[in-house]
Amino acid sequence: MKRLLCYGIVALGLVEPALAEQTITLGASVQETGALANTGRYYRDGYEFAVQRINDRGGVKVGGEHYRLALKIFDNQSDVNLSVRQYTQLLTQDKVNFLLGPFASDYALADSSVAEKYEVPMIEGGGASDQIFSRGYKYIFGTLPVASRYFESTVEVLTKLDPAPKTVALVYADDAFDVAVAKGTRERLQNGGFKIAQDERYSSNTSDFSSLISQTKASAPDVVLVAGHETEALNFIRQSKSLDFSPKLYAFTVGVPTADFRHALGADANYAFGMTSWLPSAALKDDYFSNAEIFAGDYRKQFGYDPDYHAASAVADVETFAKAIEAAGTLDPKKVRDAIAQVDFESLYGRIQFSAAGQINLPQTVVQVQNDSLVPIYGHKGFINKPRYPMPAWDKRQ
Amino acid sequence: MALLLQVLANGILLGGLYALMALGLALVWGVLNIVNLAHGAFIMLGAYASYYLFTLLHLDPFAALPLCMLALFLFGYLLQRHVLNLIVRAPMFNTLLVTFGLDVVLTYLAQIVFSADFRVVNPGYAGANFALAGVTLPLVRALAFAVALVLTFALWLLLAHTRLGRAVRACAHNLVAARLYGVEPRTVYALTFGLGAALAGAAGDLYGVVSQFNPYIGDALTAKSFAISIIGGLENPLGVVVGGLFLGILESLTSLYVGPTYTDVASFGVLVLVLIVRPKGLLGRAT
């Protein structure tokens, strides 16, 4: 046993210097297991895919020398407290160079404090809540659109529909992200002259919406806007059907763009509106993956499922580090931080340029499920396709 | 008024689902004094069994109900016979540890085997409903409510009026006397635990028709079943129905009058109250 241990130590000694040679390690803690594993995988796979591709293209050049990117990922088991400990470990014990973010606002909110404390930049593509960026932190950057503006484009659509909807019910989960979405949406609706028929907060991970739906049905709004998690959106639609509730339009912050969601609901997914900050279009050029369409194909080939905006956002995070480190010409966290604040480039995800608070500005494209497939409806340039509106009653559908 | 009636109806139907979920946990707890922390994971397994029977064999979830129950019964029986019987007379802390470990193992095995993707069982009638006196009733929930009542009644009959049922109750009341009368506790325990698992299988079978599920739904279901068992009391299966209905109606009214974000506060708040005021449950003898 002792001898084995000696061999082990010798072997480690031999491997260590080889690994330490010219690598930049990015550390992250993501949800590989637990309730959020379904979305967490986009970040794990997105980070891996981007690191692999950047290395294939010669890695990162720092002051004339070539560095390879390496990735150290922990599984936080969908536990916020564990993720905070893991980020602390990444910086204090594993001594990674920079941090990539977790999925979901609650996590990013807690984990960014670790980055701030140790003054190491974190770029995260999984947390959109305004709260993350409103604390004056200098070391956190985010590549999701601002939460309070998630429904901005949807509300614009509402003002352009015929017959014009007048009353809106706002239903949202009680976590950092959804509360921020609701706050922004409420203001937008009031400014747009809509009457808010109902404004209800429900607890995250609710699986029974029957009473909430009955209440909403009783107040008979034209439109229902739901800010919640994918599983909740799914239950909301199914239970709306079983309680025979169909407003003229309903829209969801998440779920609608993912293939899983439409697959689970089948024909019941039709007419649901949603939003996405990213569609795999060839018009989105990228230095490493040529364009978003090719990226989506390659990603599917490697991982066996389609990427959505979470994955694209994750890839953009890694690319941002590559660009910023090259621009800084050093691995010094403070200088790299300043370089990140200055980046401005086109990526497969969109234009990456951070506001003073550290978040990018990306418009949401409104999408709708029509005949079982996802159709883009409205972008920053106006209508792309005709929305199906008003939604027919459940028993009037084919 | 119409809204209040509708919300009450929602609560009653939700209560039926709750009762179905908690029945197995209460049985095992009452007889074996094991708080099965893996109970929710059993429900999750039942949901996957129903999902695969439906998607691969096109078997209707209501037709698949006996199959799911049988599968979970065998699983539960073997588990008790070969694992849990080893610790059944150890302090309660040990059984908690073992069933907690079981819960973790089942949950993560489920993620490896079934992936973390969420699933639903979506037969053509999943969204069907009918109106009764101006109240919209979802068909599946109404049927699930009926299933819960039938299973509770069957369990009550079994416990009260059969030889096996008497043996089960005897083991719970006085193990030494039961053995003197020729009851083999190993078998009775395994049968009871198998029965508890079968009831979880029934709940899981219908769960996917009502809600989405994934490998991680178990913990929340265990917690809810736990609360229902305490509120209803462990002495009588009918208590579980009372506990389930009570909680279902309470949550629905809380959602209507206080706000849907406070439903868990209400249900676990009541749990604490019941523990203080009537520790043997609403139907249990007052102490």
Task: Provide, as residue numbers in chain A, all residues whose Cβ is less than 8 Å from the Cβ of B120.
Answer: 234, 238, 264-265
Is B287 exposed, middle or buried (CB count within 10 Å of its CB: 0-12, 13-18, 19+)?
Answer: exposed
pLDDT at A6 over 90: no
The neighbouring-strand residues paired with A60 are: A67
State the pLDDT at residue A270: 96
Secondary structure letter of residue A228 according to DSSP? S
Quote the mean pLDDT of chain A.
92
Q: Look at A243 and B138 and tell me if their CB atoms are within 8 Å.
A: yes
pLDDT in tens, A254-288: 999 988 899 899 999 999 999 999 999 999 999 99
CB within 8 Å of A5: residues ≥ 6 apart: none
Q: How many CA atoms lie within 13 A of A88 on its CB side?
A: 9
State the pLDDT at residue B285: 64
Is B246 exposed, middle or buried (CB count within 10 Å of its CB: 0-12, 13-18, 19+)?
Answer: buried
Backbone region of residue A143 per phi and psi (left: phi > 0; alpha: psi in -120 to 50; beta: other values): alpha
Q: Which of B122, B253, B256 is nearest to A239 (CA)?
A: B122
| Beta-carbon contacts below 8 Å between A and B | 113
Contact A312, A278 (CB under 8 A): yes
Write down the residue that tokens 């706000």 correspond to: B259
Cα B222–Cα B227–Cα B232 angle in degrees, nearest 5: 125
Q: How far apart are CA B42 and CA B22, in angstroms?
A: 12
Q: Look at B255 and A212 and tell me if their CB atoms are within 8 Å.
A: yes
pLDDT in tens, chain B (287 residues): 789 999 999 999 999 999 999 999 999 998 888 999 999 999 999 999 999 999 999 999 999 999 999 999 999 999 999 999 888 878 888 889 999 999 999 999 999 999 988 999 999 898 899 998 889 999 999 999 999 999 999 999 999 999 999 998 888 888 888 888 888 888 999 999 999 999 999 999 999 999 999 999 999 999 999 999 999 988 888 999 999 999 999 999 999 999 999 998 999 999 999 999 888 888 776 54
Q: Write b or e for each residue in B49-78: b if 16 or more Cβ atoms lie within 10 A of its Cβ, otherwise e.
A: bbbebbeeeebbbbebbebbbebbbebbbe
Q: Look at A78 and B119 and tell me if their CB atoms are within 8 Å.
A: no
Residue A174's pLDDT band (cuts 50, 70, 90): very high
pLDDT at A396 over 50: yes
Minimal C-alpha gap between B212 and chain A (Å): 6
Q: Which CATH class is domain A20-145+280-352?
A: alpha beta
pLDDT at A13 over 50: no
pTM of the entire predicted model: 0.89
State the pLDDT at residue A268: 94
Task: Provide, as residue numbers in chain A, all residues whose Cβ is less than 8 Å from the Cβ of B6.
Answer: 214, 218
CB within 8 Å of B102: residues ≥ 6 apart: B37, B38, B41, B79, B83
State the pLDDT at residue B214: 94
Task: Provide, as residue numbers in chain B, all residues whose Cβ is less than 8 Å from the Cβ of A201.
Answer: 259-261
- The reply to whether A149-276+364-396 shares the fold of A20-145+280-352 is yes
pLDDT at A398 over 80: no
Q: Look at B10 and A203 and tell me if their CB atoms are within 8 Å.
A: no
Backbone region of residue A162 per phi and psi (left: phi > 0; alpha: psi in -120 to 50; beta: other values): beta
B117-to-A82, A125, A139, B51, B216 alpha-carbon distances in Å: 22, 21, 33, 13, 10
CA dihedral A344, A48, A132, A174 (to 10 degrees): 130
Looking at residue A193, its amino acid is G
Q: Which of B221, B265, B263 is nearest to A35 (CA)?
A: B221
Phi and psi at A141, nearest 5°, equal -130, 140
Nearest CB to A238 within list B3, B120, B220: B120
Q: Does B251 touch chain A (CB under 8 A)?
A: yes
Q: Does B108 touch chain A (CB under 8 A)?
A: yes
Nearest CB to A215 within list B108, B256, B261: B256
Q: Which of B143, B281, B260, B257 is nearest to B205 (CA)?
A: B143
Task: State the average pLDDT over residues A341-352.
Answer: 96
Contact A247, A222 (CB under 8 A): yes
A310-to-A69, A128, A277, A349 alpha-carbon distances in Å: 21, 11, 9, 10
Q: How far apart are CA B128 and CA A120, in angstroms?
A: 54
Task: State the average pLDDT over residues A304-328.
Answer: 95
Cis peptide before A390 (omega within 30 of 0): yes
Contact B239, B228 (CB under 8 A): no
Task: State the average pLDDT over residues A159-176.
Answer: 95
Phi and psi at A365, nearest 5°, equal -90, 130
Task: Provide, as residue numbers in chain A, all residues whose Cβ is less than 8 Å from the Cβ of B122.
Answer: 264-266, 268
Contact A345, A351 (CB under 8 A): yes
pLDDT in tens, A224-239: 999 999 999 999 999 9
Q: Does A219 touch chain B (CB under 8 A)?
A: no
pLDDT in tens, A206-228: 899 999 999 999 999 999 999 99
Q: How far apart are CA A13 and CA B1, in angstroms?
A: 76
Q: Look at A264 and B119 and tell me if their CB atoms are within 8 Å.
A: yes
Residue A7's pLDDT band (cuts 50, 70, 90): low
Q: Does B162 touch chain A (CB under 8 A)?
A: no
Task: State the average pLDDT over residues A100-124.
Answer: 96
pLDDT in tens, A14-28: 444 444 458 999 999
Q: Which of B45, B88, B103 is nearest to B187 (CA)?
A: B88
Strand A122-124 and strand A98-100: the pairing is parallel
Task: Provide, as residue numbers in chain B, all residues whose Cβ is less than 8 Å from the Cβ of A244.
Answer: 129, 136
Secondary structure letter of residue B181 according to DSSP? T
Contact A158, A165 (CB under 8 A): yes
Q: How far apart are CA B194 and CA B188, in angstroms?
A: 10
Q: Look at A260 and B118 and tell me if their CB atoms are within 8 Å.
A: yes
pLDDT in tens, A43-99: 999 999 999 999 999 999 998 899 999 999 999 999 999 999 999 999 999 999 999
Domain spans, chain A = 20-145+280-352, 149-276+364-396
Q: Which of A199, A203, A211 to mutate to test the interface with B (most CBs of B within 10 A)?
A: A211
Determine the longest span between alpha carbons in chain B, in angstroms. 59
State the pLDDT at residue B173: 83
Residue A3's pLDDT band (cuts 50, 70, 90): low
Domain spans, chain B = 10-219
State the pLDDT at residue A14: 47
Percent over 70 (pLDDT), chain A: 94
Contact A340, A121 (CB under 8 A): yes
Q: What is the fold of A149-276+364-396?
A: Rossmann fold (3.40.50)
Strands (E), chain A: 23-30, 60-62, 65-75, 98-100, 122-124, 140-142, 167-173, 195-202, 223-227, 249-252, 273-276, 285-286, 290-291, 345-347, 350-352, 365-370, 373-379, 382-383
Is A52 exposed, middle or buried (CB count within 10 Å of its CB: 0-12, 13-18, 19+)?
Answer: middle
The neighbouring-strand residues paired with A346 are: A351
The neighbouring-strand residues paired with A122 are: A99, A140
Minimal C-alpha gap between B137 and chain A (Å): 7
CB within 8 Å of A396: residues ≥ 6 apart: none
Helix (H) or strand (E) holding A106: helix A105-118
Task: Provide, as residue numbers in chain A, all residues whose Cβ is less than 8 Å from the Cβ of B252.
Answer: 210-211
Q: Which of residues 38-57 of B touch A (CB under 8 A)?
A: none
Q: Which of A302, A272, A303, A298 is nearest to A286 (CA)?
A: A298
DSSP assignment of A53-84 equals HHHHTT-EEETTEEEEEEEEEEE-TT-HHHHH
Q: Look at A211 and B138 and tell me if their CB atoms are within 8 Å.
A: no
Minimal C-alpha gap between B39 and chain A (Å): 18
Secondary structure letter of residue A359 according to DSSP? B
Secondary structure letter of residue B286 according to DSSP? P
